[in-house]
Amino acid sequence: MKIKFLGAVESVTGSCHLIEVNDKKILLDCGQFQGKKEIEQLNYKDFEFAPGDIDYLLLSHAHIDHSGRIPLLVKKGFKGKIFCSKPTYDLCEIMLRDSGHIHEVEAEWKNRKAERAGREKVEPLYTESDAEESFKYFEPLLYEQLTEIDENLTVRFNDAGHILGSAIIEIWIKEGEETTKLVFSGDLGMKDKPILKDPTIIEKADYLIIESTYGNRLHEKIGERIDILANIILKTVRRGGTVVIPSFAVGRTQEIIYELNQYYDGNKKIQSELAQIPVYIDSPLATKATEVFKKNAHVFDEEAREYIMIGDNPLEFENLHFTQSAEESKALNTSDEPKIIISASGMCDAGRIKHHLKHNLWKKKSSVIFVGYQAEGTLGRRIRDGEKAVKIFGEEIQINAEIYSVEGFSGHADKNGLLDWLSGFKEGPKQVFIVHGEDDSKKEFALEINNKLGLDCVIPLPGKEYDLISENFSENQVTAKEDKNINIEKDKKVDGKCLQPASKEKIDELLNEIVKLKELFQDSLLLTEESLNNNINVEDFNIINNKILEIEKNIVNLTMLSGK
Ligand SMILES: [Zn+2]
């Protein structure tokens, strides 16, 4: 089995790894490069493989730096299958369309300039309709569902707690009589993150590919993040300013809505003052993503489900507005009312956020709060790093507003979170490949893993092919202490636990539960029909629907297992 690391190697973005085994080619992610111009230029380079030769794409999550080149892959001839979780598919539907649209607009803009300068026209990387075309190759799976893709390849997607639908992918690959288990962490979330469950603990792997975005850093003040945010909001609004929060449309925006909602509920004294402040979600994508969240409430964590159970929608509160049209968006900057504007993109490179920064950065009374990772070279990074002025739409804008960075909202686990997750392995991995981090982060994290957990780490070189079976990794290894290397006996079998046939009693028990729930469900439907005018049973409907989905998921799992 050979593996090549083609993206998220020299930088954080463009996640893409190629596995070649038996006569199959499998891609892990197909992400877009984001950040500096030179990095974005990489998107236009040919793929380092023939897209038509790829059999399967296993997609960890919907973020564009993991999924953004899928429409291009399809445009260039991919005809295989794309596996991901169901919420990831739902998010890709809106995010890849949006991405296609952005590429079209960018190309148009470049072409207008090119025409004036007598230069040749450019093609968009891909269009909205290319994105549309790619959806027919998606095959969404349930979390924890063991899926035999072909006789030599079995996969399971587990909640990674990073964004809705994000997955840690377990991959069992059979070569002759031997089975090797590869685990791809995708991006790992923080524990106790709002809305989402904690990253699933994986107990066994022969090889692991892990992200390292925060591999050498610790998140500070996680518990206080919402207090810090609320204090900045109050301070700014009391002096008549506007709070601008650049935020990823998908994930971060919903978390902030959720946490503000929770904060309002828990702080009765200032609740009325806070409730006066209008919160505008000014991103059509964020609005659509919020709908996808509501549709996938069955994967929410306990706390968020409890909200739903008591009939409180955790993603709605008084004075929360979703703006739609460009006119509504512009109107936010012509009015002087103190407010909160949450807008995308999160790193300020594109989207409506640029207008809000242009109108607020120069104002002393306004504040800009960064709540997410800012990649090198992005406008967000430059503002956060303290530049005195920046160019936006060709205009020099002084930075007089107060600039804050509230890190506790990160979507990524920090160094301790990653180590904690790694310590969940009971067997292996015998080799850890560290990707998706800036150079220092990868190196320091590798040493940390080697030192604390005694695992061998490799920071893969871009484009180099690693033969997992015969490779001598020592030349590339990052080792803290030689004697700490541990040698784990390779178990050729798939985890015993997951392939054990489920007991018939367990399946019967679950089927009984389904029957009971269906009765409840029917009652609820009847009631809804009776009281159609006052809509009282929509929440009940959702709760029961989610429960049925959950049980169905378990049955699918157990049935899959007993079939083995
Ligand atoms: Zn991500």
Q: Is the pLDDT of residue 238 over 80?
A: yes
Measured in Å, residue 71 CA sits from the centre of ligand 1 at: 18
Long-range CB contacts (within 8 A, 24+) of 304-313: 304/194, 304/195, 304/258, 305/546, 308/539, 308/542, 308/543, 308/546, 309/543, 311/539
- CATH no. of 225-409: 3.40.50.10890
Window from 73-77, 321-325, 539-543 with minimum mean pLDDT: 539-543
Higher pLDDT, 306 or 92: 92
| Lowest-pLDDT choice from 408-417, 442-451, 476-485, 516-525 | 476-485
**How much of the chain, in percent, has pLDDT values that exceed 70?**
86
Give me ligand 1 centre to Cα 171, in Å.
20
Q: 63 alpha carbon to ligand 1 midpoint, in Å?
A: 5
Q: How far does residue 369's CA lie from ligand 1's centre (Å)?
A: 20
- Reply yes or no on whether the pLDDT at 489 is more than 80: no
* Predicted confidence (pLDDT) at residue 497 exceeds the cutoff of 80: no
Q: Provide the pLDDT for residue 533.
A: 45
- Cα(162) to ligand 1 centroid in Å equals 7
**Distance between CA atoms of 123 and 563, rounded to whole angstroms?**
49
The pTM for the full model equals 0.81
pLDDT value for 205: 96
Q: Residue 240 and residue 366: Cα distance in Å, rounded?
A: 8
Above 50 in pLDDT, residue 536?
no
Residue 356 has pLDDT above 90, yes or no: yes
Paired tokens of 227 = 């207090």
For 171-185, give the DSSP string: EEEEETTEEEEEEE-
Distance 187 CA to ligand 1 centre (A): 5
Q: How far is the CA of 15 from the centre of ligand 1 (A)?
A: 10
Q: Which of 306-315, 359-368, 511-520 has the lowest mean pLDDT?
A: 511-520
The enclosing H or E element of 7 equals strand 2-7
Confidence of residue 554 (pLDDT cuts 50, 70, 90): low
Decide which of 207 and 491 is more confident. 207
Compute, in angstroms, the gap from residue 517 CA to the centroid of ligand 1.
Answer: 36
Burial class (CB in 10 A: 0-12, 13-18, 19+), 278: middle
- The per-residue pLDDT for 522 is 62
Structural domain spans, the chain: 2-217+411-496, 225-409, 500-563
Surrounding ion ligand 1 within 5 Å at CB are: 63, 187
- What spacing in Å lies between the alpha carbon of 253 and ligand 1's midpoint? 14
Q: What pLDDT shows up at residue 531?
A: 45
Question: How far, in Å, from the CA of 186 to the mean position of ligand 1?
Answer: 8
For the chain, percent helix, then strand, then coil, each to nearest 5? 40, 20, 40
Instruction: Using the predicted structure, report yes or no on whether residue 236 has a pLDDT greater than 90.
Output: yes
Whether residue 496 has pLDDT greater than 50: no
Cα 556 to averaged position of ligand 1 atoms, centre (Å): 28
The predicted model gives 359-384 an average pLDDT of 93
Distance in Å, CA 340 to ligand 1 centroid: 25
Tell me the CA–centroid distance for residue 372 and ligand 1, in Å. 11
CA of 326 to the centre of ligand 1 (A): 28
Average pLDDT, the chain: 86
CA 189 to centroid of ligand 1, rounded, Å: 9
Q: What distance in angstroms lies between residue 205's CA and the mean position of ligand 1's atoms?
A: 22
Separation of CA 510 and ligand 1 centre (Å): 34
Q: In this model, does residue 15 exceed pLDDT 60?
A: yes
Question: Cα of 2 to ligand 1 centre, how many Å?
Answer: 25
Six-digit token string for 80: 């295989």
CA of 35 to the centre of ligand 1 (A): 14
Helices (H) and strands (E) in the chain, counts: 18, 23
CA distance 332 to 281: 11
Distance 109 CA to ligand 1 centre (A): 28
Judge contact between 403 and 357, C-beta under 8 A: no
Distance 61 CA to ligand 1 centre (A): 7
Strand partners, 403: 368
Ligand 1 centroid–CA 163 distance in Å is 7
State the distance from the centre of ligand 1 to the C-alpha of 268, rounded, in angstroms: 35
Q: What local confidence, expressed as pLDDT, does residue 295 receive?
A: 87
CA distance 532 to 503: 42
DSSP 506: H
Whole-number Å distance, alpha carbon 547 to ligand 1 midpoint, is 28
Given CATH 3.30.300.30, say whether it is the number of domain 2-217+411-496: no
pLDDT tens, 100-129? 999 999 899 999 999 999 999 999 999 999
Residue with tokens 């979330």: 189
For residue 304, report the distance from its CA to the centre of ligand 1, in Å: 21
**Residue 539: per-residue pLDDT:** 53
Q: Where are the beta strands (DSSP E) in 264-318?
A: 279-282
Ligand 1 centre distance from Cα of residue 120 (Å): 35
Measured in Å, residue 386 CA sits from the centre of ligand 1 at: 26
Tell me the three state secondary structure of residue 139: strand
Encode pLDDT of 22-44 as tens digits.
999 999 999 999 877 888 889 99
Q: What was the pLDDT predicted at 267?
A: 86
Rounded to the nearest whole angstrom, what is the distance from the C-alpha of residue 481 to the centroid of ligand 1?
32
Considering only residues 529 and 548, tell me which one the structure prediction assigns the higher pLDDT.
548
Tell me the CA–centroid distance for residue 214 and ligand 1, in Å.
Answer: 12
- Report CA(11)–ligand 1 centroid distance (Å): 14
Q: Is the pLDDT of residue 479 over 80?
A: no
Q: Which of 158-167, 390-399, 480-489, 494-503 has the lowest mean pLDDT?
A: 494-503
